[in-house]
Amino acid sequence: MPGLLRENVATAKRIVVKVGSSSISGDNADQITPLVDALAEAYGRGTEVVLISSGAVATGMPFLNLDERPVDVATQQAAAAVGQNVLIFRYQDSLDRYGIAAGTVLLTEGDILKEPHRSNTRRALNRLLDLRILPVVNENDTVAVYGLRFGSNDRLAALASTLIDADLLIMLSDVDALYSKPPHLPGAVKLDFISHDDPLDSFEFSSSGATGVGTGGASTKVVAARLATAAGTAVLVTSTDLAAEAIRGEHVGTWFEPTPTAMRRALL
C-alpha cells in the first residue's frame, strides 16, 4: 500500500499539525485564530487532530520584559513556564468558539523513546483522541535538559506522528514550501513533491530559523519528514497562513511521499 495520497488528505483519519514559534507568537499571535479555524474544520469532519505547538519561550518573553530569546537555560525555563500557560489559554479561548476542549501534553525525549514512558504517552494521546479532546503537545522546556531534548519540535512532531500512527503530518512555518536552496537566494526553486527514495543530494537546506525566536529550519523539517515518512506517515510542509488549504487537501506546500508498506516491512 502506498500510504496517504495527496489528493486524499481530506479523508485522513488522524493528522498531526506542527506550528513554529514565530508563526503564533509576538506580532503573529493573532494567527492562532485562523489556525484554530482550520483545525476545527478537520475536527468537525471527524478527523482526529493533534497539535504540536512551539512558542512557550517566545510567548513568555514579554512577561519577563525580554526583547530577545534568553541564552541562559534558567531564564529559558522561566520564560517557558510562563509562556506555556499563556499559550494554552490562547488556544483554548479560540477553541471555545467550536466547543472543543484542548488537553496539554508536555514531553521530553524519553517520554517517546524509552519504555514504559513511550507506551504511557501513546496511551494518553490515544485516550484523549478517543474522548474527542484536541491534544496540544510541546516539549517540556521548563524541565528538559541536554540529553533529554528533542532538538526541535519538528523532530518531536515526527516522533509523535509515528507513535500514534498518524496518516499525515503537516509542518507549518513562515515559508510556503521547501525550496532547492534558501528562498531568498537567486535560482531557488519551489519543491512540490519529494518521493520516498529521493536522496535530495542536490538541494541546500538552511539549518536555522529566520526570526531568532524558534529553533528549527528547513533542514530540521527535511530530517523530520524523512523520519515520519519512513514509518508510513505522509508529510506536508507549508506556511501557517495556508493551514486551512493544507488541511483541506489543496495543492499547497511540499509533499513528502510516505514509504510504501512493503518497503517498510523490508526495513524491519
> Which CATH number, 3.40.1160.10, 3.40.50.620, 2.60.120.10, 3.20.20.70, labels domain 6-267?
3.40.1160.10
Question: Which residues contribute to the annotated binding site for substrate?
Answer: 54, 141, 153
Residue pointed to by grid coordinates 538552511: 206
Q: Tell me the C-alpha distance between 250 and 248, whole Å.
A: 6
CA distance 83 to 86: 5
Least confident span in 70-79, 206-215, 248-257: 206-215
Tens of pLDDT, residues 13-66: 999 999 999 999 999 999 999 999 999 999 999 999 999 999 999 999 999 999
**pLDDT tier at 198 (50, 70, 90 boundaries)?**
confident
Phi, psi of 117 (to 5 degrees): -60, -40
Q: Which three cell numbers stand for residue 236?
A: 506536508
The Cα–Cα gap between 215 and 144 comes to 15
Domain boundaries, the chain: 6-267
Tell me the per-residue pLDDT of 105-156, one tens digit each, with 9 for 90 and over.
Answer: 999 888 999 999 999 999 999 999 999 999 999 999 888 765 445 678 999 9
Residues near 104 by beta carbon (within 8 Å), at least 6 away in sequence: 84, 88, 135, 136, 138
Contact present, 150 and 156 (Cβ < 8 Å)? yes
**Which residues line the annotated binding site for ATP?**
18, 173-174
| Binding site feature residues | 18, 54, 141, 153, 173-174
